[in-house]
Amino acid sequence: MQKKYHMHLRSKAILYILLFAVVFQSEGKAQNNFFWGGGISAHLPTNGFGTDDFGFKDVARIGGGANVGTLWIFNPRLSLGSELAYSYFPKNKDTWNQERRGDIKVNYQMINLTAQGNFYLTEEEVRPYLGVAFGLYYLRNIVNFNSNYVGSTNDASVSYVSSTLHAGFGPEVGVLFKLSKIQYALISLRYTVIPNIEAEYYPEDRVTINPHGKQNHWSLSVKMFFGKS
């Protein structure tokens, strides 16, 4: 079962690497409209729309991240891009409150490689847009609990790391600002959907990994892009 799972992950990775190779090859054909850049983001975990079920916002708090990426404006109304980003979510202290029993360290980390397409509503220097990103998300979720009762029958110390690879996507709205022929600024709001994260229970340790299920979240980002003069 484990071997099949890793083969499935490798297949996913190869598929997306080929996809990004096509995107970069296309971008490289139009150097005058090709820009490199990056930025920072703030992330808000969510349980989804209209649900009170236990979810990501119950285990994590507002986090942050950084990204690098490309932007190819091949038409005044259309662009393609790519992004490599790192995100970090700290624990929800209310959910993970174990002060009486011991010290617990929890965090949720993510690295994503995505491609994106944008449609701009105007051709002016300030361009509102609608877009969507899709790609691979590598999730590394860590829980490390050190019990106050180490060495006794009440010792419940446990440590685990969940590392998984998932496909995901994110609809986005934003505004692109043309500062000059070779410089653009961008501000955006994205809702990222990472489905199919299944909880796993390990009876020997009495631990459930990823009980929150989907790791969906909102992202507010500010980016700068630079081209060749």
pLDDT of the residue at 229: 72
CA distance 96 to 158: 14
At residue 3 the predicted structure's pLDDT band, cuts being 50, 70 and 90, is very low
**Mean per-residue pLDDT, 210-218:** 81
Domain ranges in the chain are: 2-226
In the structure, what pLDDT confidence band is assigned to residue 4 with cuts at 50, 70 and 90?
very low
Write out pLDDT tens, residues 9-68: 556 555 555 555 555 555 454 467 899 999 999 999 998 765 567 778 888 899 999 999
- What proportion of the chain, given as a percentage, has pLDDT over 90? 48
Cα angle value 159/160/162 (rounded, 5°): 165
Residue 178 has pLDDT above 90, yes or no: yes
Q: Which of 49-53, 88-92, 218-222 has the highest mean pLDDT?
A: 218-222
Asked whether the beta carbons of 136 and 13 are under 8 A apart, the reply is yes
Give 31's DSSP letter: G
Alpha helices in the chain (DSSP H): 2-28, 56-59
d(CA 205, CA 23): 45
Residue 203 neighbours by CB under 8 Å, 6+ apart = none
Fold assignment, 2-226: Porin (2.40.160)
Structure tokens at 71: 């932007």
Cβ atoms < 10 Å from Cβ of 180: 10
